[in-house]
A and B are shown apart, each in its own frame.
Chain A
């Protein structure tokens, strides 16, 4: 199954992919985008703590 077919029918994946593109265009760091990609598109974990770590990094204050 090619990449296009994999995201076809997966609207969230389409939104997340566009989001990463927009973040990159806004100057977000490579590390931040890599963390967001891992959380949103690879692991697909959407808990608040996962999003916090993805956005703020491991040093995020508790």
Chain B
């Protein structure tokens, strides 16, 4: 996808001006804590994505890239801050320059900016996971299963998958919820239609039979079939608009009878006993505080279960994982199993009572309509109020809690106000006094009202059928999605699990060659158990050391990235990710990265110079593919170990007669340079377990080794009869001896200046020769052409040659035998 050739950083984070040439190869940045390593990582991430992970996310408050990305002295002029990366992208292979300022983080200047390149860079922007810090790495390993699932989901960009899953679940739930009221409406319309039809079953035969009897009275042809479009009053003359609407006497009286029956049913002893029975049971529940609390809680959990279908809490908008939360709620509901069973039993008993209430409401509402048509109108005000109270009681009974409200509703459910019966009597009287309609009028009225109610039922049923179909479709879409996504993610996790275990085995093949791992997704969680020396599977933090956990985190990250990006995994920035891994396993990590990820450019930071040397000696990075930061200050940012800068800086100290500063820097640099020389020349130094070598141990060893190397080279040239070469080496050897001698005579002053607080006695004139002596001495270790330090080769066996990194200085060390 992309490889970094160079990065230029200006006034960004803690860096004033820095340019690093990575040349598209693995690269390491080494330096003590606070020297600016992570600033380079931030700059790299910013240039590629427009964001800095460390400045965003949880706990970062008001910190923003725009405000806090620029160097602190540029916070009022963020446009001056800029990071420019030159990179090579792979498809198509092009060199591209990406430049970005925190002043407008989202807008990158890309040259060339043709669509193919922009498409690749947009893809890079969506993969901030190319940058991995130890903080992030350890989250994959030590997080709780739920949190780990979030981290891995973020890495795999599964938020979209989860959003769709949640959205489809919510849609299915919403569609199903809409069915209950639609079913009740159909049932009410059906009851109403059956009453006027005078039949008990809604069948085609019963409807056609009743209708054709009335049609025959009017001389209308019999209907032979009943379809969705059939009108039972087909052929009936349309009434004049001016004709006043009449009360259909027979139907009105039928409705009166139905109302009385419904009221008798709700007021019956059976209903009263049932209501009393349920009320008693609920009173027992209510009287026990623990059970009452359990009922309330269970109800709360059930409500919660119904409402948990979005990705966030509807109150505070805090994101949640619906599957995980539902499992949690179900666990609580299961704990209230006894309460739950008693509630279900009570609700089963309440169901016929709510059905009776629905019939009462439907019948009374119908009578209220007839009362308005009467002359004079029959005011059924009490009936209207009673109907409303029945509706309210139905809702209370269906809600179930608070129990006190349900018990109260049950207590009054069988009480029908006498005034309601009086109003019904009054309406019946009025309707009864209406002249008997002719057979034709009665048949006409019947057909009109049946057709009206049939249409109401048809419309209700159409809506219910449509909603049922929608609900079925939504549920199918949701179920198939869940199955499919689980299967796809299961395959991914299985593949990652295998790859992770293989990578970890490679790094730890010395003692964990049979290592296995289990990556188990379940209900929004991602379990991660690892084999511990064949004793069983445990969480990574249970028995494995921190070093092993670090390498597990890296291996899991690499396995995920390889699966996620495949051959496009061409860049990874690892910010101090292996600080706990021991030396031998670091070598294996180097070998792993070289062997398994040869096409990935790794940019790594470390505070440990020995780790840096491991990377070099194991060939993970080239001799020139590293930078070492020696210090950092607010005015200059990270300061590299660059010889030219060091001597200039020392000279600057001396110009102001700051011998203390000059001596401190000189010693610090000599320690760094001596360690590097000992490493390059394989100089023997007395072993220290803490690896804290002093200048007095390193520099003499390096000088002694260099002298021996020159001597060996001279002897080797002589053995091969290379007279010219031998003479040239002899000159270098002689010069180096003089330089060593000169510096040796002066070394006491450096020591004195640093360790014995006697710099007060030195001034510039005293110290300048010391500086010159050591500068000359260090040049004696370098190639005259490239100025790089010489190194012996090979490193771990008998040296055969000494050479520089540019290849122009090469001296044979093997004598002719």
Q: Bound complex: CA of A55 vs CA of B477, how far in Å?
A: 7
B154-168 CB contact bits vs A (8 Å, 1 = yes)? Answer: 001110110110011
A9 & B127 in contact (Cβ 8 Å cutoff): yes
Which one of B57-65, B233-241, B564-572 is at the A interface?
A: B564-572
Residue of A at shortest CB range from B485? Answer: A15
A26 & B480 in contact (Cβ 8 Å cutoff): yes
Q: Bound complex: CA of A46 vs CA of B567, how far in Å?
A: 29
A34 within 8 A of B: no
CB distance from A30 to the nearest CB of B (A): 14
B481 & A9 in contact (Cβ 8 Å cutoff): no
A9 & B480 in contact (Cβ 8 Å cutoff): no
Partner of B171, one of A9, A36, A55: A55
A60 & B470 in contact (Cβ 8 Å cutoff): yes
Q: Bound complex: CA of A26 vs CA of B482, how far in Å?
A: 14
CB distance from A14 to the nearest CB of B (A): 6
B18 within 8 A of A: no
B488 & A5 in contact (Cβ 8 Å cutoff): no
**How many chain B residues touch A (Cβ–Cβ < 8 Å)?**
38
Inter-chain CB contacts under 8 Å: number? 84
Residue of B at shortest CB range from A49? Answer: B167
A51 & B164 in contact (Cβ 8 Å cutoff): yes
A47 & B167 in contact (Cβ 8 Å cutoff): yes
Residue of B at shortest CB range from A47? Answer: B167
A48 & B170 in contact (Cβ 8 Å cutoff): yes
Residue of B at shortest CB range from A48? Answer: B167
Within 1-16 of A, Cβ neighbours of B (below 8 Å) are at 1, 5, 8-12, 14-16
Residue of A at shortest CB range from B127? Answer: A9
A14 & B566 in contact (Cβ 8 Å cutoff): no
Q: Bound complex: CA of A52 vs CA of B166, how far in Å?
A: 12
| Residues of the A chain whose Cβ atoms lie less than 8 Å from the Cβ of B477 | 23, 28, 32, 36, 55
B91 within 8 A of A: yes
Main secondary structure of the interface of A (DSSP, over half): helix
Q: Bound complex: CA of A5 vs CA of B156, how far in Å?
A: 16
B167 & A22 in contact (Cβ 8 Å cutoff): no
CB distance from A9 to the nearest CB of B (A): 5
Within 565-594 of B, Cβ neighbours of A (below 8 Å) are at 565-568
Partner of B123, one of A9, A14, A32: A9
| Residues of the B chain whose Cβ atoms lie less than 8 Å from the Cβ of A9 | 123, 127, 564-566, 568
Partner of B492, one of A8, A11, A22, A51: A11
Q: Bound complex: CA of A23 vs CA of B191, how far in Å?
A: 39
Q: Bound complex: CA of A19 vs CA of B486, how far in Å?
A: 11
Q: Bound complex: CA of A43 vs CA of B484, how far in Å?
A: 21
Residue of B at shortest CB range from A44? Answer: B160
CB distance from A21 to the nearest CB of B (A): 8
CB distance from B484 to the nearest CB of A (A): 4
Given contact pairs A16-B164, A46-B164, enumerate 19 new A-B contacts (beta carbons under 8 Å).
A8-B566, A8-B567, A9-B565, A11-B157, A11-B489, A15-B484, A18-B484, A19-B481, A19-B484, A32-B473, A32-B477, A46-B163, A51-B164, A52-B171, A55-B168, A55-B171, A56-B474, A61-B466, A61-B470
Q: List 17 A-B contacts (CB under 8 A).
A: A1-B91, A8-B565, A9-B565, A11-B158, A11-B161, A11-B488, A12-B164, A15-B161, A15-B488, A22-B483, A22-B484, A40-B164, A51-B171, A55-B171, A55-B477, A56-B175, A56-B473
